[in-house]
Structure 1
Amino acid sequence: MKYSYLYTFLLLLLLLVDNSRSKLGARSSLRSGLISRGWRSGVGSNSQWDSTVNNVEQQQQFSPKHVKGLSQIKDYFSNFGFLVSSPPFNDFLNQETATAIKTYQQFFNLNPTADLTNETFHQISLPRCGVPDINLQYDVRSSSVSWPKAGNRWFSGKNLSYGFSPASEIPANATRLFRNAFLRWEKAVAGLNLTEARYDEADIRVGFYNLDEGVEDVVWGESVVRLQHGVATGEIRLDASKDWKLGGGNGSVLDLESAAMHHIGHLLGLDHSNVEDSVMYPYVLPSRQPKVELSNFDKATIRRVYSKGSCGYARGVLVRIIITFALAFAVVGL
């Protein structure tokens, strides 16, 4: 009898561990993370991920088909939408992985060899956004939490509020950068109205969390849409362990205002771009140059997204007018 209790306890423990490792999109649910009170305590290093990439790169030349640590590289491509399979992965380089590598190379304008080239290793070593690049799964109505995906509006109209998490203790000079970022996006779209509100009443909620977890070591933030009590809200979740600079970055430091611009773009309806000067480019380039101004590409893309919505609304109104007149004439005819 005592062994049955032990087995039950171990089974429950395994279930808890399995649930804690679940993923959103390519990861089936959101990492919860703990809110950090010391949001600038880290040094922004991604040495663990760098070590993984370096080890795989060095071993590949000896055995290109079986490389210790390749499973973590597969996990990376799975997380960001390029590898359809889900973990656990092995260390063998199969055709599916080669196809994923080539798709990744094509997306980021690298030489599409389908091999893990030095150029590819360099790219995946860069800090990046946690939202997948392709094959995003958007199903917030059934799963309660989802990645934001262009073409799937989680809000209606053009009026949105935003608020800052009190638990994250975000200093005033940081919230000021976010306000500037919201204002830039507001000016880019005619009729868009973004206003500040209390955190628990806001449509878009900003906070800092501990996000580091395996591949997430290289991720500096993410955007999600959450459904609670029938109400959808957007969340900007930045990594509290990274070293955030208020106005430009260098070395291992990340520019906070650039991150704000990027994630607001996600929640307004934009996917990742492979155009390097776009604020929606998912990687932080080695130069660490801030990207706080919308490029011409960004402006054209966001206006196209909202003009489609306007056209759709106008067509709907026109259809209703035509139906009304048709019914009126039918009644007169009778």
Structure 2
Amino acid sequence: MRLPLRLIFSIPLLIILINPTPTSAHFFPNITAIPSSLIPNTTIWAAFSNLVGCKKGQKADGLPKLKEYFQYFGYLNTSYSDFSDEFDDSLEIAVKTYQLNFNLNATGQIDAETIKRIVVPRCGNPDIVNGTSAMHPGKPSANSTIHTVAHYSFFPNRPRWPPSKSQLTYAFLPENQLSDVVKTVFSRAFERWSEVTTLTFTEISSFNRADIRIGFFSREHGDGEPFDGVLGTLAHAFSPPTGRCHFDGEENWVIDGDFLNGAPLSAVDLESVAVHEIGHILGLGHSSVEEAIMYPSISSGTRKVELADDDIMGIQELYGSNPNYNGSVSSLTPTGERETSGASRVDYWLWERGVLLVVGFINLSIIIHLDFFT
């Protein structure tokens, strides 16, 4: 499947298109409710597994698609056009940069560990913007007197919501007709960020007037970032103060968060992805810390919703700390209740291990995204 490439413009353009049709998203109360007909046998990027062992100077049938993948996520620049089956110098550099970002052995060769990471579902936003990656290098934390290395990042020019917008509103695309149960998942996701910052979040009914607008779409939906069906890319969000957050409606979204007993390949925890995307809406980019919410990928059938220290340091650098924040975040169950007992806390810790999606950077100064609902 060909991954669409971004359109880069040097001057503003006015483009008039027909509004995309929102999708009726797939929501399931638990993993057992997902019908077998919706469970794929493999991911859309699984064919890349045949490339293990490839290195510069070799030729292989799957390399053109891999080059498209790396260009889509920013590892090959937009002017790159050699989509042949030859492993060239540019691809070697792209592979090495990817390996650095994901804390892999940076050889520039396609080894099994690199492919294992590439095929994990993730967001459709790039890891590299304008040739610059912010994922790998550590930097001293601005919020701590302790010598701490932080890996959080921001969008170019560090956009954030202005102080006058500390009370943010959000709304859901009416055409999606989301249930109260699904909306509650998002309410919990927003609360995880409000616990550690000065920001608050309130749902309103007017989609067009909300600061943050959440919608589920399928395939091409008008912003230049098409979704690709089950797995692959899961969601993407835009930097402040754009406030747009889009989810792939074709995913099998699970809302109860119970993955202890295993899950089919396609099960995706809605709250895990929502917490990550909200981080982007607030101004955070990707982190190279695998335990962080803002790590760029999440395996299907996993759950991770609690903010890591890296996430908290990053968001507090933008907005400051909640006066009531005492250095730890509370755990919310899928019903919205907080865990209190020691035994429950251990169970919840086990429940929430996983690898998280994360959304990449979008340089809004050069990439034209069309907003059809504002």
TM-score over 0.5 for the alignment? yes
CA distance in 2, matches of 1:152, 1:213: 26
Question: What amino acid maps onto 2:304 in structure 1?
Answer: K
Equivalent pair of 1:244/1:253 in contact (CA under 8 Å) = yes
| Counterpart residue number, 1:123 | 117
Q: Spell out, residue by residue over 1:90-139, the C-alpha distance to the aligned partner (whole angstroms, 9 max, x if none).
A: 221111110110011011000101011111111111000112112269xx
Structure 1 gap ranges (5+): 1-19, 138-147, 227-231, 309-334
| Counterpart residue number, 1:278 | 292
Q: Spell out, residue by residue over 1:241-262, the C-alpha distance to the aligned partner (whole angstroms, 9 max, x if none).
A: 1101003243320000011100
* CA shift in 2, pair 1:292/1:97, >3 Å: same
CA distance in 2, matches of 1:53, 1:215: 17
CA distance in 1, matches of 2:162, 2:299: 34
Equivalent pair of 1:208/1:237 in contact (CA under 8 Å) = yes
Correspondence 1:249-260 to 2 at 5 A? 249=259, 250-251=263-264, 252-260=266-274
Question: What amino acid maps onto 1:234 in structure 2?
Answer: G
- 3-state SS of paired residue (1:127): coil
Question: What amino acid maps onto 2:6 in structure 1?
Answer: K
- 3-state SS of paired residue (1:219): coil
Correspondence 1:279-298 to 2 at 5 A? 279-285=293-299, 288-298=301-311
Question: Given the alignment of the two structures, is residue 263 of structure 1 paired with residue 277 of structure 2, yes or no?
Answer: yes
CA distance in 1, matches of 2:269, 2:194: 21
| Counterpart residue number, 1:23 | 6
Runs ≥4 residues deviating over 4 A: 28-33, 212-217
CA distance in 2, matches of 1:224, 1:44: 29
Match of residue 239, structure 1, among 225, 242, 248? 248
Q: Spell out, residue by residue over 1:63-84, the C-alpha distance to the aligned partner (whole angstroms, 9 max, x if none).
A: 9621112111111111112112
- 3-state SS of paired residue (1:83): coil
CA distance in 2, matches of 1:307, 1:151: 18
CA distance in 1, matches of 2:229, 2:127: 15
* CA shift in 2, pair 1:121/1:264, >3 Å: same
CA distance in 2, matches of 1:255, 1:39: 12
CA distance in 2, matches of 1:107, 1:25: 24
Equivalent pair of 1:75/1:87 in contact (CA under 8 Å) = no
RMSD over equivalenced CA pairs, Å:
3.5
- 3-state SS of paired residue (2:279): helix
CA distance in 2, matches of 1:101, 1:46: 27
Equivalent pair of 1:78/1:86 in contact (CA under 8 Å) = no
Deviation for aligned residue 1:85: 3.8
Question: Given the alignment of the two structures, is residue 201 of structure 1 paired with residue 201 of structure 2, yes or no?
Answer: no
Deviation for aligned residue 1:218: 0.7
| Counterpart residue number, 1:78 | 71
CA distance in 1, matches of 2:271, 2:104: 28
| Counterpart residue number, 1:162 | 170
- 3-state SS of paired residue (1:23): coil
Equivalent pair of 1:82/1:103 in contact (CA under 8 Å) = yes
Q: Return the TM-score normalized by structure 1.
A: 0.71
Q: Which has the higher contact order (CA 8 A, sep 6+)?
A: 2
| Counterpart residue number, 1:106 | 100
Equivalent pair of 2:255/2:271 in contact (CA under 8 Å) = yes
Match of residue 234, structure 2, among 208, 220, 224? 220
* CA shift in 2, pair 1:128/1:45, >3 Å: farther
Percent of pairs with identical residues? 31
Question: Given the alignment of the two structures, is residue 303 of structure 1 paired with residue 297 of structure 2, yes or no?
Answer: no
CA distance in 1, matches of 2:57, 2:218: 35
Bigger CA radius of gyration: 1
| Counterpart residue number, 2:191 | 183
| Counterpart residue number, 2:85 | 91
Question: What amino acid maps onto 2:62 in structure 1?
Answer: G
| Counterpart residue number, 1:153 | 159
* Range moving further from structure 2, 290-299 or 263-272: 290-299
* CA shift in 2, pair 1:160/1:216, >3 Å: same
Higher helix share: 1
Question: What amino acid maps onto 1:23 in structure 2?
Answer: R
Question: What amino acid maps onto 1:224 in structure 2?
Answer: F
